[in-house]
């Protein structure tokens, strides 16, 4: 009885495999354009908050040469990217490469190095507000600064910290 059931099961699974028709389709041509890896490597946003990474990737993958305002005789193009948490103003050259950016994000998650530096230097203070600013230039790379408003009871203090926890 077991052999009959196993034989029917094997037969039931094997028959549909032979009845499938294989269709061969020709796919359209795909053009792969490299993103602005120099920009992405310079800003190195692996530990940045999700909205920051998302908007920076949009800047890197934006193709200014496909925009309706693109003209070959212009030297550079300034494009603004906005989300509720922040904005990036990026400048592209005529080939679509990122030349420089100005980035500003409010109330983003702080990286571990910044949190550790704050706890070591200001143990009883809490972060009330923070602004994350990045300035990128093709020649100098990225400069990242966190402007923080610290609160301890009635006391308030403003501090600036870079992305590795050094106070400025």
Q: What is the pLDDT of residues 60-88, one digit of tens each?
A: 888 887 778 877 778 888 899 999 989 99
Average pLDDT over residues 129-142: 92
pLDDT of residue 100: 93
What mean pLDDT is reported for the chain?
A: 85
CA distance 97 to 40: 12
- Closest by CA position to 132, among listed 103, 156, 159: 103
Enumerate the domain spans of the chain: 33-162
pLDDT of residue 22: 65
Rounded to two decimals, the pTM is 0.73
Q: How far apart are the first and last CA of the chain?
A: 82
Neighbours of 71 (CB within 10 A): 8
Neighbours of 6 (CB within 10 A): 10
- Asked if residue 168 has pLDDT above 80, the reply is yes
Phi, psi at 119, each rounded to 5°: -65, -35
What is the helix (H) or strand (E) element at residue 100, kind and residue range? strand 98-106
């Amino acid at each position: 009885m077991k052999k009959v059931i196993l034989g029917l099961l094997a037969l039931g699974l094997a028959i549909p495999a032979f009845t499938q028709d294989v269709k061969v389709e020709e796919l359209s041509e795909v053009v792969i354009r490299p993103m602005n890896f120099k920009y992405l490597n310079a800003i190195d946003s692996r530990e940045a908050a999700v909205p920051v990474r998302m908007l920076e990737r949009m800047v890197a993958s934006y193709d200014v040469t496909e925009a309706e305002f693109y003209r070959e005789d212009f030297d550079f193009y300034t494009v603004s990217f906005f989300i509720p948490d922040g904005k990036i103003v990026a400048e592209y050259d005529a080939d679509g490469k990122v030349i420089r950016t100005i980035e500003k994000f409010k109330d983003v998650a702080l990286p571990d190095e910044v949190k550790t530096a704050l706890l070591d230097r200001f143990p009883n203070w809490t972060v009330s507000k923070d602004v994350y600013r990045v300035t990128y230039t093709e020649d100098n790379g990225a400069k990242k600064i966190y402007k923080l408003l610290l609160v301890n009871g009635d006391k308030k203090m403003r501090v600036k910290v870079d992305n590795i926890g050094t106070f400025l």
